[in-house]
Amino acid sequence: MKARYYIGVGVLILIVGLAWTALPSRGDPILQGKVVQEYKTLTCGCCGTYGAYAQKKGMKVEVVNVNDADSIKDKYGVPEALRSCHTVIVDGYFVEGHVPAEAIAKMLAEKPGIKGIAMQGMPYGSPGMPGNKEGPFVVYAVQNDGSYEEYMRI
């Protein structure tokens, strides 16, 4: 009788544990339900993976496939040196490249007087990119005059 009880408890714990790990990984509460537009080219695979990452963090991603991604970057003032494969627009800010959700949440919470944030290149292990993280991710804040400075390291 005791063995049956312990087996039942063990199975219940296993089921609850599996259900818990299957739940989506929600990010910061400020991101929950936040509607964002992701501008990308149709052929970019990592952009789709980044969009899925953003959705998993609670954002509602509206994908906009474009033929000329640079025109979007020009429109929002993304500096040439910080350009990446996709541009996300959220609450009037741009988020350029494979920026982690923590940086987006920080920007939305602080509401700084900037154009947006960006992460140079396509670093291994960053959201939407394969591989292992090789060092801190440096996220830059782009000022209204187009200059940029380090915003945070993750």
Whole-structure pTM value = 0.82
Alpha carbon separation from 119 to 6, 12, 53, 127 (Å, rounded): 51, 44, 16, 11
The per-residue pLDDT for range 93-133, each reduced to its tens digit, is 999 999 999 999 999 999 999 999 999 999 999 999 999 99
Q: Give yes or no for residue 6 having a pLDDT over 60.
A: no
Does the 26-153 domain belong in CATH 1.10.260?
no
What number is the average pLDDT over the span 137-141?
98
State the Cα–Cα distance between residues 127 and 120, nearest whole angstrom. 13
The backbone torsions φ and ψ at residue 149, rounded to the nearest 5 degrees and listed phi first, read -145, 165
The backbone torsions φ and ψ at residue 93, rounded to the nearest 5 degrees and listed phi first, read -95, 155
Residue 14: which pLDDT band, with cuts at 50, 70 and 90? very low
Beta 148-153 vs 60-65: how paired, if at all?
unpaired
Percentage, residues of the chain above pLDDT 70 = 83
SS3 77: coil
Alpha carbon separation from 6 to 14, 20, 140, 147 (Å, rounded): 12, 21, 54, 63
The per-residue pLDDT for range 74-93, each reduced to its tens digit, is 999 999 999 999 999 999 99
Residue 26: which pLDDT band, with cuts at 50, 70 and 90? low
Residue 4: which pLDDT band, with cuts at 50, 70 and 90? low
